[in-house]
Amino acid sequence: MLDLFRRARQPSGCRAAVRSRTSARVRLPHAWLPLSLMAQAAYAASAADAPPTPADGEAAMLAPVVVTAAASRPPLDPNLPASVTTVTADQFQYWNVVTPEDVLKYAPNMAVRKRFIGDVNSTIAVRGTSNAQTARGLVYADGLLLSNFLGNTFTFAPRWSMVFADDIDRTDVFYGPYSALYPGNSIGATVAITTRMPTQFQADAKVQGYTQHFDLFGVNRSFNGTNSSATIGDKIGRFSYLIGVDHLENTSQPLQFATLPQSTTAVKPVDRPVTGAYFYNDQNNARTAVLGVSAEGIERTFQDQLRMRLAYDLTPTLQAGFTLGYWHQKYNSDTQTFLRDANGNPVYSGLVNIGGFEYNVPAAAFAPSAGSSENVLYGLSLRTRNETGWNGEAVASYFDVTQSIARTASSGVPGDGPGTIAYGDGAGWKSLDLRATWTPPSPDAGLAAHWVSFGYHYDNYFLDNTTYNTAAWRDGGNGSFANAFGGRTQTQATYVQDSWRFLPRWRLTYGARYENWNAYDGKRSLGATSLAYGDASESHWSPKASLSFDVTSNLLLRASIGRAYRFPTVGELFQGQVNGISIVNNNPNLQPENDLSKELTAEWQHGNGLYRFTLFQDDVKNTIFSQTNTTVIPNVTNFQNIDKVRSRGIETSYEGQDVLLRGLDLAASVAYTQSKIIANSGNPASVGKYFYRIPLWRANVVATYRATEKAAVTLAARYSGRQYNTLTNTDVNPNTYGGTSTYAVVDTKFTYRPTRKTEIGIGVDNLFDHRYYVFHPYAGRTFYLEGRIGI
């Protein structure tokens, strides 16, 4: 991002002087030329003491830029109406990266909820969007939609598994819903991943090993894993390909513990005396007994990936592409009881005597689980690459959950006893994007020039879950029917956006998006009883506008405003527990979230660094969130609309190269976000409280020193401040299991390249073994060892 900013704003006579060793970061495809032209026109040099004349100014701003074709990269938003952070392979190659979401770990005002390596529930949180609001973040890989909008909670994280981390060339983060090119799910941010394609034959293999020692309550042991990958690619005439395979396995630290509130019930003669329980103060500072490892437990995961990307140049300016992604996972979650009777036998359930008080341990407290899933992503693209005039692209994708089986025992007693089998086969989503862009036909088009984009979007999400009882939870067949739920949503949208330099230093980017959303085929069943939900439909316009001003050749001011609607997901509308006694955790009558976002930004390029200062505010009506409605009796807990949530804050960031000494690159950011509930008719006690899991402060810093051409060392830190795990902010003891902690962790890595094609890396995450929590405990100090060889 810094290189692009610097080159766009330098006078033509100075550009050669600022081309550095990292110039590879700004190699752009022909399809990106509208972006490079816009960047020059928007940010190019003009004298600080007087504005240039239109003729001279436009000539200077539109001086030639060296562009290297890399046709595999999709055209991103050519108008940049809001803040953008870019992370390139040149940067994250020196970090501890195993899976794609790791490249975002130091992005400004962003955090990744990754509990362990291989966690399929790795969600992102940004600004006023918490890590539980997964439907407020868009993730694309080469234009293919990876966002899992089947639901809006931790289990609906983006499908990062469809990308290899080593294949990523760059990742762009667009903050907020300020571009008409993206749907209302961009309220938080849009993450656009661009992978590389070879220009000549290449092959490489990489092996990583990692281990952590974890000590909490009754668990004190090491947990280990490995990751192996290999890729091969080439460009042969008009045809290019990149094929890769990856195998990951890991054993997580304990993610969840079986707990009971400290008992005040006097012991009875029939209660079995046991030992082994631990006591701690929970997030509400209440004394709590820990009985063992439960539920998600210690997860052992095995993941296999295959990714194939093909591209063919039909003409010099027209390219067709095909992507195939395959991901298979098997997992088992082991549980254990800490409780032992007088003879040393494990105790799994029943009335027990702990310290002279009676506790009733439920049979399901230590119930293990296991499962497998198989997912396939198909993608087709057709793009033109004209330097000026019209360009078009068509991108279609289909994400198919071909297999999803989750087996859960009814109790923790060892053996293959009764349990349930849940099937999610046939779920997935389809999407289609058609876009046309217009770039002025000549660099000297002057103030009348417009950069125009318009297009059409379609997506269809479908969910179908069925659960059966079984006599043998590990490998038994289907028994009696337990419950089922399913449904579909469909969204169609059209949009137009224009970027217009109406004065030498002024640019207006404006547009609108029209979206039509439908929910249908919603149903749930319990035994012989079934319920069909009625269809729902909503249509809304979302206007956007951004005005920028070049104060000097190095200083840009920009004001942006945008309306966005985030429509309910299938899971929020129709998915729930149907067991005859629990209230269904869904709501077919949800209204879409209605957001008005505003942002003021200053960007200053000074010396070798780029500084950004941003003020932002999001006012969201009808925030969709799972809460307890305390105004009805009995209370109902389900997804509800919270009347209004306001998030406002400040972001500052810096990115510099060769800072203080040659070879030292530095990126740092500090952000303050205050997210509060302004109105909530369903739970009045939450009004005026901080919203769920939005920390007041976030700070990240990462410094890489390339001591020689062969050796580099990285030192980084991540900080997250006070946040709340409840809407009423009753969690007064957050830095413990069950709470959501404040944390400061340090990461480091040493990278050495004996030859141009070989690499060795040694790294540590959470260097000081800080114990911190996102309800579940995060990983402890984790050591990495990796090696790579290429051809």
- Mean confidence (pLDDT) of the chain: 88
77: pLDDT strictly greater than 50: no
pLDDT in tens, 693-720: 999 999 999 999 999 999 999 999 999 9
| One-character DSSP codes across 64-79 | -------TTSPP--TT
Q: How confident is the model at residue 76 (pLDDT cuts 50, 70, 90)?
A: very low
- What is d(CA 101, CA 122) in angstroms, rounded to the nearest whole number? 8
525: pLDDT strictly greater than 60: yes
pLDDT in tens, 743-753: 999 999 999 99
More confident residue, 527 or 92: 92
2-790: CATH architecture = Beta Barrel (2.40)
19: pLDDT strictly greater than 70: no
pLDDT in tens, 331-369: 999 999 999 999 999 999 999 999 999 999 999 999 999
pLDDT in tens, 258-277: 999 999 999 999 999 999 99
Q: What residue spans define the domains of the chain? A: 2-790
Outline where DSSP puts E strands in 410-478: 419-423, 428-439, 450-470
Given a contact cutoff of 8 angstroms between Cβ atoms, the answer to whether 638 and 586 are in contact is yes
Residue 655 CA to its chain's centroid (Å): 22
- pLDDT confidence of residue 301: 97
More confident residue, 45 or 646: 646
Q: How confident is the model at residue 447 (pLDDT cuts 50, 70, 90)?
A: low
- pLDDT confidence of residue 625: 95
Distances (CA, A) of 104 to 123, 358, 614, 765: 11, 48, 19, 15
Element (H, E) at 674: strand 664-679
pLDDT in tens, 569-578: 999 999 865 4
Supply φ then ψ for residue 489, to 5 degrees: -130, 150
- What is d(CA 483, CA 462) in angstroms, rounded to the nearest whole number? 18
Work out the burial of residue 534: count CB atoms within 10 Å of its CB; fewer than 13 is exposed, 13-18 middle, 19 or more buried. exposed
- pLDDT confidence of residue 282: 97
415: pLDDT strictly greater than 90: no
Lookup result for tokens 């449904």: 487
- Section 215-244 average pLDDT: 97
Supply φ then ψ for residue 179, to 5 degrees: -105, 135
- Section 165-169 average pLDDT: 95
- pLDDT confidence of residue 40: 34
More confident residue, 251 or 415: 251
What's the DSSP call for residue 95? Answer: S
Share of the chain above pLDDT 70, in %: 88
Q: How confident is the model at residue 388 (pLDDT cuts 50, 70, 90)?
A: confident
pLDDT in tens, 555-598: 999 999 999 999 999 999 998 654 333 344 688 999 999 999 99
Helix axes 33-43, 2-9, angle to 10 degrees: 60
Given a contact cutoff of 8 angstroms between Cβ atoms, the answer to whether 615 and 622 are in contact is no
Given a contact cutoff of 8 angstroms between Cβ atoms, the answer to whether 687 and 680 are in contact is yes
Q: How confident is the model at residue 501 (pLDDT cuts 50, 70, 90)?
A: confident
pLDDT in tens, 48-60: 333 333 333 333 3
Contacts of 702 (CB under 8 A, 6+ apart): 91, 95, 106, 666, 667, 668, 714, 715, 716, 717
Cα end-to-end span (Å), the chain: 30
- pLDDT confidence of residue 768: 97
